[in-house]
């Protein structure tokens, strides 16, 4: 279900600034001004190399649109207090567990990382970004094509030039400027100056300065090359360098619907893009790490349980009523009550999800209670020799008030849910609403539809009013069992008390948790190596981790092994930086997606084995294992682990010392 906890995320880009200066000049200032926001619940921030990411969480039930507008206005009011060269902040709505619902992996034999990035940036984002409920940030991995000028320091010194002179010359030579308008005769023209450098030869011919009457060109101090920007982010998919676009659902959207739209859109657009020549025919775009798989399985299992529950109820009813049409009449309430409950979900703004289906499953056994009482009473009145209409009317009127009292007492159980708050309410409210709507509908149907059906379907009994009727076989068995129990009342009572005491003794051995541990078939490994490590060295470590994972988990059980190394930075990378748990070139994370079928070992067992293997093989590195996929991420409200300890102090050094001491004690 949707956790109604609005969150707004802002990204500030200041390329080249170290994290400590980002914190001092940007993060602290913005955090202070954002405390003026209404309904503020808490703030959290990350000061990264050249960027700051600030998350603002609001009180449950706050208006998300109003929260976003207020944050944007507060940032705009304070932007002039920030360093002069900082980029305008990038701000958008988010949610605590903003994980991608699926990844669009881009590969292709013979294609360079620059070409792969271009496919993701221009083709995939443009075509899938327009789908309802889909958010697509910049691609992860690959190389961004860029014209680079490589200068020789000795040649610069020989010509008495600085690197800033080269930058100024290129800036002045590569311009597109508006020139105003020009009126000639009856026509007015828009005038602009276009002076771009499309080729390396054009760049090499740019003059930098004049020495002794002779111009000094770029080619005199270096050379231009059609190259790529310095790579700060590397992606590996199944052991090979690749590119992927994370596809997110907008807050409040349904996960399954969003993934279905993405699959349909990709299947339609990729062949057309190749046919028009917009992407190479060698390009292979696949959807991996589908987070909707667990949700689909859970819903499918619950549907099966609802059906199985209905079948068992039908067998029990048939066993005791011993009339086919009477059993059908009692069972009619199940599908009709569920249909009414679904209408209630629709008009109350809820969706079909794990919790609402759980509520329906919970109510299946209860909804037939009223109909069984009504049908059994109708059968009893028919056995008295009454006409069908009279028997149905008298029987329904006779039990209407007792059934209403029983239904109300059942519904009262769900009333305390409205007084809950936070995540517990978001989990239990849909379940309680589903069960309550279905049970309430069962009363109305039992008092209207079921009697009408019985009046048409059941036959009047020819037995005389005063002729005694025999007990059915199940009733006879129960009567004999009851007589036997009454003869040994004390042992029966002591046996019941003993079973109750035994259940109390077993209680401490039963685990307790908010939500059962789920095997979503996916886990994440976050890696932090020595601070300052180059991204190339971090990739080498990741390759060793991949080999260890394949040693522990059979390759036939691995659906996807994806690694993300480093952090995309610079202009345009704001959304991607917000979503990545990495903090620089010395960090990485690996996502392992397992096949949900055909394996005997659980995800948790594999995680435990890998934790021991990594600690033994790589004792100098730090690892954090995150399992459970999108379900646990939502329950943990975006935090990597279910238990999150915050350490605060006056300075970073004191905070670090306190955190290390806490880790030692834990």
CA atoms within 13 A on the CB side of 160: 5
Tokens of 299: 């819903």
Mean pLDDT of 26-32: 92
Q: Are 103 and 258 in contact (CB under 8 A)?
A: no
99-113, 222-236, 312-326, 521-535: lowest mean pLDDT where?
Answer: 312-326
Q: Are 162 and 156 in contact (CB under 8 A)?
A: yes
Whether the pLDDT of residue 468 is over 50: the answer is no
Whether the pLDDT of residue 254 is over 60: the answer is yes
Mean pLDDT of 269-296: 87
- The larger pLDDT score, comparing residue 510 to residue 543, is at 543
The confidence score (pLDDT) of residue 474 equals 61
User: Per-residue pLDDT tens for 197-210?
Assistant: 889 999 999 999 99
- The larger pLDDT score, comparing residue 459 to residue 228, is at 228
User: Per-residue pLDDT tens for 559-613?
Assistant: 899 999 998 876 667 677 877 888 889 999 999 988 877 788 888 899 999 999 9
CA separation (Å) from 656 to 622, 645, 663? 16, 13, 11
Q: From CA 136, how far away is CA 139, in angstroms rounded?
A: 8
> First-to-last CA distance in the chain?
34
Mean pLDDT of 327-342: 86
Whether the pLDDT of residue 461 is over 70: the answer is no
Per-residue pLDDT band for 350 (boundaries 50, 70, 90) equals confident
Whether the pLDDT of residue 463 is over 60: the answer is no
User: Per-residue pLDDT tens for 36-85?
Assistant: 999 998 898 989 888 899 999 998 878 888 999 999 999 998 888 888 88
User: Per-residue pLDDT tens for 235-247?
Assistant: 999 989 999 998 9
The confidence score (pLDDT) of residue 97 equals 64
Q: From CA 443, how far away is CA 426, in angstroms rounded?
A: 27
List, in order, residues 6 or more apart from 221 with CB less than 8 Å away: 151, 152, 155, 156, 159, 161, 166, 208
Percent of the chain residues topping a pLDDT of 70: 94
Which of 321-325, 454-458, 492-496 is the most confident on average? 492-496
The confidence score (pLDDT) of residue 630 equals 67
The confidence score (pLDDT) of residue 96 equals 65
Mean pLDDT of 253-266: 89
Domains, the chain, ranges and CATH? 1-96 (3.30.70.1430), 145-228 (3.30.2090.10), 294-487 (1.20.1640.10), 522-665 (3.30.70.1430)
The confidence score (pLDDT) of residue 466 equals 42
Whether the pLDDT of residue 321 is over 50: the answer is yes
The confidence score (pLDDT) of residue 216 equals 94
What is the overall mean pLDDT for the chain? 86
Q: Are 643 and 532 in contact (CB under 8 A)?
A: no
């Amino acid at each position: 279900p949707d956790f109604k906890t609005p969150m707004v995320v802002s990204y500030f880009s200041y390329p080249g600034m170290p994290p400590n200066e980002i914190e001092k000049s940007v993060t602290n200032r913005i955090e202070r001004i954002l405390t003026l926001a209404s309904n503020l619940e808490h703030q959290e921030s990350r000061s990264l190399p050249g960027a700051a990411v600030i998350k603002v969480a609001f009180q449950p039930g706050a208006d998300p649109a109003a929260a976003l507008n207020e944050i944007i206005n507060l940032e705009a009011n304070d932007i002039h207090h920030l360093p002069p060269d900082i980029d305008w902040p990038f701000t958008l709505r988010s949610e605590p567990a903003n994980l991608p619902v699926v990844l669009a992996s881009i590969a292709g034999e013979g294609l360079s990382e620059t070409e792969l990035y271009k496919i993701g940036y221009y083709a995939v984002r443009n075509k899938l970004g327009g789908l309802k409920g889909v958010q697509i940030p910049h691609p992860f991995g690959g190389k961004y094509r860029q014209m680079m000028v490589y200068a020789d320091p000795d040649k610069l010194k020989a010509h008495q030039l600085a690197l800033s002179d080269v930058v100024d010359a290129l800036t002045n030579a590569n311009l597109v400027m508006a020139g105003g308008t020009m009126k000639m005769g009856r026509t007015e023209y828009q005038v602009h100056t276009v002076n771009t450098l499309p080729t390396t030869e054009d760049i090499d011919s740019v003059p930098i300065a004049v020495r002794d009457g002779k111009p000094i060109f770029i080619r005199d101090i270096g050379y231009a090359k059609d190259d790529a920007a310095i790579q700060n982010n590397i992606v590996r998919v199944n052991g090979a360098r690749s590119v992927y676009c994370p596809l997110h659902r907008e807050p409040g959207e349904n996960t399954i619907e969003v993934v279905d739209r993405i699959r349909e859109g990709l299947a339609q657009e990729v062949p057309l893009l190749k046919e028009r020549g917009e992407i190479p025919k060698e390009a292979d775009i696949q959807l991996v790490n589908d987070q909707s798989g667990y949700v689909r399985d859970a819903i499918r299992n619950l549907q099966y349980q609802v059906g199985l529950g209905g079948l068992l109820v039908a067998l029990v009813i048939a066993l005791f009523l011993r009339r086919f049409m009477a059993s059908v009449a009692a069972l009619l309430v199940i599908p009709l009550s569920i249909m009414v409950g679904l209408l209630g979900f629709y008009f109350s703004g809820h969706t079909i999800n794990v919790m609402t289906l759980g509520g329906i499953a919970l109510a299946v056994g209860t909804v037939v209670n009223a109909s069984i009482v009504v049908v059994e009473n109708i059968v009893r009145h028919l056995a008295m020799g009454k006409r069908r209409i009279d028997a149905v009317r008298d029987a329904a009127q006779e039990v209407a008030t007792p059934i209403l009292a029983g239904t109300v007492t059942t519904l009262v159980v769900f009333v305390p849910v409205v007084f809950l708050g936070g995540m517990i309410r978001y989990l239990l409210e849909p379940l309680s609403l589903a069960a309550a709507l279905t049970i309430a509908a069962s009363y109305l149907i039992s008092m209207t539809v079921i009697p009408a059906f019985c009046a048409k379907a059941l036959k009047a009994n020819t037995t005389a009013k005063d002729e005694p009727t025999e007990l059915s076989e199940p009733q006879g068995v129960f009567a004999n069992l009851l007589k036997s129990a009454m003869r040994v009342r004390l042992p029966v009572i002591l046996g019941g008390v003993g079973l109750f005491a035994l259940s109390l003794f077993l209680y401490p051995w039963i685990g307790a948790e908010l939500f059962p541990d789920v095997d979503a078939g996916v886990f994440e490994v976050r890696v932090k190596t020595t601070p300052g490590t180059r991204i190339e060295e971090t990739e080498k470590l990741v390759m060793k981790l991949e080999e260890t994972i394949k040693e522990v988990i059979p390759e036939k059980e691995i659906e996807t092994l994806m690694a993300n190394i480093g952090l995309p930075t610079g202009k345009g990378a704001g959304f991607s930086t917000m979503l990545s748990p990495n903090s620089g070139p010395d960090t990485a994370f690996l996502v392992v997606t397992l096949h949900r079928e055909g394996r005997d070992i659980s995800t948790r067992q594999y995680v435990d084995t890998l934790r021991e293997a990594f600690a033994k093989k790589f004792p100098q590195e730090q690892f954090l294992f995150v399992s459970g996929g999108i379900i646990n991420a939502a329950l943990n409200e975006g935090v990597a682990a279910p238990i999150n300890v915050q350490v605060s102090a006056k300075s970073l050094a004191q905070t670090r010392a306190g955190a290390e001491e806490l880790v030692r004690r834990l």
